[in-house]
Amino acid sequence: MANQVTTQTGLNALSKQQQQEHRAKIGVRVQAILSQFWRDGSTPDAVQALEFEGWMDVLENCSHSEIRNAWASYQRTGPRTQTGKLYKPDAGALYQIILRSRPRPRPGPEARPMTAEERKAAEERRVKAREINPERKAQAEKIIREVGIGTKMDRGSET
């Protein structure tokens, strides 16, 4: 239980209203990014909306500054045609730039081998944990008999 995350972060830390506003702002940014590339004018609005929704789904756990910085990086270093024109990105391209720009998680303390004393103490704890308390065993057996549940040996002798 000590290793469980107890603090909400990212999109989950926002209220439903804030999440909707965050996604809407991403949608506006995506529209601005994609408007720089050629688009077939006959593409239905519903298809464009689905494309924006896909971008919002991929980037919703990213901050606006991360998205802005990723777009700037993509413009500087993104793939280009032979004539030098920037290829149209997809949401995953910006997401990968964002992930690479985030700090790497720090590794925990290095595990060191247990000393002989620590191994002995750990083994003693394991042995003690396996010990059966005779009083508790007698109580458990009494309850089992009262309830009418037989042990494996009792069942075998009934036949």
Residue 141 lies inside a defined structural domain of this protein = no
Whether residue 9 is predicted with pLDDT greater than 90 in this model: the reply is: no
Q: Is 112 helix (H, G, I), strand (E, B) or coil?
A: coil
Residue 145 lies inside a defined structural domain of this protein = no
Q: What is the mean pLDDT of the chain?
A: 84
The answer to whether 8 and 46 have CB atoms below 8 angstroms apart is: no
Q: Is 80 helix (H, G, I), strand (E, B) or coil?
A: strand
- Tell me the pLDDT tens digit for each residue of 69-110: 999 999 999 999 999 999 999 999 999 999 999 998 887 777
pTM for the model stands at 0.59
Residue 148 lies inside a defined structural domain of this protein = no
Residue 128 lies inside a defined structural domain of this protein = no
- Tell me the pLDDT tens digit for each residue of 41-71: 788 888 888 999 999 999 999 999 999 999 9
Residue 154 lies inside a defined structural domain of this protein = no
Which residues contact residue 59 at a Cβ distance below 8 angstroms, ignoring those fewer than 6 apart?
Answer: 26, 30, 67, 91, 94, 95, 98
Residue 129 lies inside a defined structural domain of this protein = no
Domain span at residue 95? 10-101
**Number of domains, the chain:** 1
